[in-house]
Amino acid sequence: MAHLLDTSTLTAPLPPVVLEVGELFDAAGHELSLVGGPVRDLFLGRMSPDLDFTTSADPDQTLAVIKRWADAYWEIGRAFGTIGLRKDGFQIEITTYRAEAYDPASRNPTVAFGTSLEDDLLRRDFTINAMALRLPSLELVDPFGGVRDLHAGLLRTPGTPSSSFSDDPLRMMRAARFVSQLGVTVAPEVSDAMTSMAERISIISAERVRDELTKLIRGAAPDAGIDLMVDSGLADHVLPEVAALRLETDEHHRHKDVYQHSLTVLRQACALETDDDGPVPGPDVVLRFAALLHDIGKPATRKFEPGGAVSFRHHDAVGAKLVTRRLRALRFDNDTIKSIARLVELHMRFYGYGETGWSDSAVRRYVNDAGPLLERLHRLTRSDVTTRNRRKAERLAFAYDDLEERIAALAEQEELASIRPDLDGEQIMVLLGIRPGPVVGRAYRFLLEERMDHGPHEPADAETKLRRWWSEQPESQENL
């Protein structure tokens, strides 16, 4: 199906750069079309700074057309028929018509250049991405009903789903990502193919899976994308710890559905993110993954107590270890792994405050242990309240309000964000007459504990306490 597009009906403007490059290729005798996500986004009222085009020109011919026009260009994707460039603030990729397939046992695509736009569209992942805008004529090419499916909020494949997912199993992850990002639902035949072929995701590199998962978690409805992964069986291979949260519920041992609870916590954490000027600008990948994974230690620690109660002792510590192991397997960077694992480890800490109240020392330790993650920990802890008992929810919210007020009050008096001993390492060595070594570290930790327990000291008081501590150390006697 092809017809001239009335651009006045679009809710997103067509950037001038699109028509400019179309006219250049037309003048050189080559076909060029805007394709995929940028065309879809025109109908969704948005325009990305990344533009994708497909062309009848081979890479050499493409280079000849754009060399003088582009602000900069590169040939990193040349082997796949892709030339990249930058123009007027847009990142542009121009790819030769192609056909692409995966060897059933390989992670890497086999690329062959195609001969027509329609054949190129057939090999794309979903109908909503298999639309093109011929340039410069502005003819919309939509052979598989992408506009119709977009309006219906339905995710279908141009060909059979099994063929599409066999070509590139990562497309199953992409389906879950689009559910999260676009609010669409998958067609029944797509869902069936995902379920029957879920194991095929194991041939895809961890890095590619990680990138799709990150895009999913950053979406408007990440809980819906995760739910599709779990229902289809994809999560059994990508996030098995999340799939394992679907604990059996029996009527005798009544307990919360941990899986549904985790999805609720994820939704609530997203709602507590701030705008760009706030302390936790959304979408925040660390907070969202921590919300999703905070209870993954529960299946391993579940215990049925006398009387029918269920306990999950130390699931926070166990969960932090499982988070580290899973995110390492998915090739996340170390800083992200440490941050998410630390939030999971700390997510139960507040409940001691709600039950017994804390000393100023305990509040300082809470802030110090959270470090730069404190604002995220505030939001994770609040999100973790999913009880339907209104009085209990109000009691917990009041307790956390009180804790935050105490943190703010102490912060006015002390530098809570960067609690350090009242004397630094150099001062400790001069005062005690010692050289660098383990003893300095022990003295530093002693002063840090004093700072935590009693707040800031005057230098003279800190020196007195350090000398008293030093007199009790065996090393001080060796210097006599």
Residue corresponding to tokens 């609530």: 268
Residue type, 90: F
Question: Which of 74-78, 242-246, 346-350, 472-476 is predicted least confidently?
Answer: 472-476
Residue of higher predicted confidence among 469 and 418: 469
Residue type, 137: S
Q: Which CATH class is domain 2-152?
A: alpha beta
Residue corresponding to tokens 């150390």: 473
Under the banding of pLDDT at 50, 70 and 90, the label for residue 252 is very low
- Compute the average pLDDT of residues 80-84: 93
Residue of higher predicted confidence among 140 and 112: 140
User: What topology is assigned to 160-238 in CATH?
Assistant: Hydrophobic Seed Protein (1.10.110)
pLDDT of residue 102: 54
- Compute the average pLDDT of residues 302-308: 81
pLDDT of residue 369: 86
pLDDT of residue 408: 82
Under the banding of pLDDT at 50, 70 and 90, the label for residue 480 is very low
What is the helix (H) or strand (E) element at residue 141, kind and residue range? strand 139-141
pLDDT of residue 192: 97
pLDDT of residue 418: 57
- Compute the average pLDDT of residues 418-437: 76
Question: Which of 208-212, 331-335, 352-356 is predicted least confidently?
Answer: 352-356
**What does the DSSP 8-state code read for residue 8?**
G
For residue 24, the tally of other CB atoms under 10 A from its CB is: 17
Residue of higher predicted confidence among 476 and 301: 301
Per-residue pLDDT for 34 more than 90? yes
Long-range (24+ apart) CB contacts under 8 A made by 333-336 are 336/285, 336/286, 336/289
Per-residue pLDDT for 287 more than 70? yes
Please choose, from the candidates 246, 325, 341, 230, the residue with its C-alpha nearest in 3D space to the C-alpha of residue 289.
341
Measured distance CA(430)–CA(436) in Å, rounded: 10
Residues 6+ away with beta carbon under 8 Å from 445: none
Interhelix angle 222-232/258-271, nearest 10 degrees: 160
Residues 6+ away with beta carbon under 8 Å from 277: none
Question: Which of 214-228, 231-245, 425-439 is predicted least confidently?
Answer: 425-439
pLDDT of residue 248: 47
Per-residue pLDDT for 389 more than 90? no
Under the banding of pLDDT at 50, 70 and 90, the label for residue 274 is very high
Coil, helix or strand at residue 368: helix
Residue of higher predicted confidence among 307 and 229: 229
Under the banding of pLDDT at 50, 70 and 90, the label for residue 423 is confident
Per-residue pLDDT for 464 more than 90? no
Do the bridges between strand 154-155 and strand 185-186 make them parallel or antiparallel, or are there none, so unpaired?
parallel
Rounded to two decimals, the pTM is: 0.82
Measured distance CA(284)–CA(107) in Å, rounded: 30
Long-range (24+ apart) CB contacts under 8 A made by 256-264 are 256/386, 258/295, 258/298, 258/299, 259/230, 261/295, 261/386, 262/291, 262/292, 262/293, 262/294, 262/295, 263/223, 263/226, 263/227, 263/292, 264/223, 264/386
- Entry field: residues in the chain: 480
